[in-house]
A and B are shown apart, each in its own frame.
Chain A
Amino acid sequence: MSCSNLTMWVSSKPSLSDSSSLSFRSFLSPFQLPSQNSPISSNPSRSSSSSSSVTPIHCGLRELRGRIDSVKNTQKITEAMKLVAAAKVRRAQEAVVNGRPFSETLVEVLYNINEQLQTEDIDAPLTNVRPVKKVALVVVTGDRGLCGGFNNAIIKKAEARISELKGLGLDYTVISVGKKGNSYFLRRPYIPVDKFLEGGSLPTAKEAQAIADDVFSLFVSEEVDKVELLYTKFVSLVKSDPVIHTLLPLSPKGEICDVNGNCVDAAEDEFFRLTTKEGKLTVERGVVRTETVDFSPILQFEQDPVQILDALLPLYLNSQILRALQESLASELAARMSAMSNATDNAMELKKTLSIVYNRQRQAKITGEILEIVAGANALE
Chain B
Amino acid sequence: MTLNLCVLTPNRIVWDSEVKEIILSTNSGQIGVLPNHAPIATAVDIGILRIRLNDQWLTMALMGGFARIGNNEITVLVNDAEKGSDIDPQEAQQTLEIAEANLRKAEGKRQTIEANLALRRARTRVEAINVIS
Which residues of A approach B to under 8 Å, CB–CB?
95, 98-99, 101-103, 105-106, 109, 112-113, 204-205, 208-209, 294-296, 298-303, 307-308, 310-312, 315, 318-319, 322
Q: How far is the CB of B41 from chain A (nearest CB, A)?
A: 5
Q: How far is the CB of B69 from chain A (nearest CB, A)?
A: 9
Least CB separation from B64: chain A residue: A311
Using A302-B31, A322-B10 as known contacts, say yes or no to A295 and B41 having CB atoms under 8 A apart: no
| Docked-complex contact A319 and B66, CB < 8 angstroms | no
Q: Out of A205, A299, A308, A310, which one reaches B9, CB within 8 Å? A: A205
Q: How far is the CB of A16 from chain B (nearest CB, A)?
A: 77
Interface-central residue, B26, B70, B77, by most chain A CB under 10 Å: B77
| Docked-complex contact B42 and A302, CB < 8 angstroms | yes
| Docked-complex contact B27 and A315, CB < 8 angstroms | no
> In whole angstroms, what is the CA distance A209 to B41 when docked?
24
Tell whether B28 is near chain A: CB-to-CB under 8 Å: yes
19 A-B contacts (beta carbon < 8 Å): A99-B10, A101-B8, A102-B13, A105-B6, A105-B77, A113-B41, A204-B11, A205-B11, A208-B10, A296-B39, A299-B39, A299-B41, A299-B70, A300-B41, A301-B41, A308-B41, A311-B43, A318-B10, A318-B79
A-chain residues with CB within 8 Å of residue B27 when the two chains form the complex? 302-303, 307, 311
Map CB proximity to A onto B10-50 as digits: 1 under 8 Å, 0 otherwise.
11110000000000001110010000001111111000000
Q: How far is the CB of A322 from chain B (nearest CB, A)?
A: 5
| Docked-complex contact A299 and B75, CB < 8 angstroms | no
Q: How far is the CB of B132 from chain A (nearest CB, A)?
A: 26
| Docked-complex contact A300 and B38, CB < 8 angstroms | yes
| Docked-complex contact B79 and A308, CB < 8 angstroms | no
B-chain residues with CB within 8 Å of residue A302 when the two chains form the complex? 26-28, 31, 40-43
A-chain residues with CB within 8 Å of residue B70 when the two chains form the complex? 295, 299
| Docked-complex contact A300 and B39, CB < 8 angstroms | yes
Tell whether B68 is near chain A: CB-to-CB under 8 Å: yes
A-chain residues with CB within 8 Å of residue B79 when the two chains form the complex? 205, 209, 315, 318
Least CB separation from B80: chain A residue: A205
Least CB separation from B68: chain A residue: A109
| Docked-complex contact B43 and A310, CB < 8 angstroms | yes
Interface of chain B, helix or strand or loop or mixed?
Answer: strand
> In whole angstroms, what is the CA distance A302 to B67 when docked?
10
10 smallest A-B Cβ distances: which pairs?
A302-B42, A311-B43, A102-B8, A205-B10, A299-B39, A300-B40, A98-B12, A311-B66, A302-B40, A312-B66
The number of residue pairs between A and B whose CB atoms lie closer than 8 Å in the complex comes to 92
> In whole angstroms, what is the CA distance A312 to B26 when docked?
13
| Docked-complex contact A103 and B42, CB < 8 angstroms | no
Tell whether B65 is near chain A: CB-to-CB under 8 Å: yes
Q: Out of B31, B39, B68, B77, which one reaches A298, CB within 8 Å? A: B39
Tell whether B130 is near chain A: CB-to-CB under 8 Å: no
Tell whether B94 is near chain A: CB-to-CB under 8 Å: no
Q: How far is the CB of B46 from chain A (nearest CB, A)?
A: 11
Q: How far is the CB of A189 from chain B (nearest CB, A)?
A: 28
| Docked-complex contact A109 and B66, CB < 8 angstroms | yes
Tell whether B85 is near chain A: CB-to-CB under 8 Å: no
Tell whether B2 is near chain A: CB-to-CB under 8 Å: no
Q: How far is the CB of B61 from chain A (nearest CB, A)?
A: 15
B-chain residues with CB within 8 Å of residue A318 when the two chains form the complex? 10, 79
Interface-central residue, B6, B26, B39, B41, by most chain A CB under 10 Å: B41
Using A109-B66, A109-B68 as known contacts, say yes or no to A102 and B9 having CB atoms under 8 A apart: yes
> In whole angstroms, what is the CA distance A102 to B6 when docked?
10
Q: How far is the CB of A332 from chain B (nearest CB, A)?
A: 19
Tell whether B111 is near chain A: CB-to-CB under 8 Å: no
B-chain residues with CB within 8 Å of residue A300 when the two chains form the complex? 38-41
> In whole angstroms, what is the CA distance A102 to B79 when docked?
10
> In whole angstroms, what is the CA distance A298 to B69 when docked?
11
Least CB separation from B24: chain A residue: A302
> In whole angstroms, what is the CA distance A103 to B12 when docked?
11
> In whole angstroms, what is the CA distance A296 to B69 when docked?
10
> In whole angstroms, what is the CA distance A123 to B65 when docked?
19
B-chain residues with CB within 8 Å of residue A209 when the two chains form the complex? 79
A-chain residues with CB within 8 Å of residue B80 when the two chains form the complex? 205
The A-contacting residues of B in range 65-91, CB under 8 angstroms, are 65-66, 68, 70-71, 75, 77, 79-80
> In whole angstroms, what is the CA distance A78 to B102 when docked?
47
B-chain residues with CB within 8 Å of residue A101 when the two chains form the complex? 8, 13
| Docked-complex contact B42 and A301, CB < 8 angstroms | yes
B-chain residues with CB within 8 Å of residue A319 when the two chains form the complex? 10
A-chain residues with CB within 8 Å of residue B12 when the two chains form the complex? 98-99
Least CB separation from B29: chain A residue: A302
Q: How far is the CB of A324 from chain B (nearest CB, A)?
A: 12
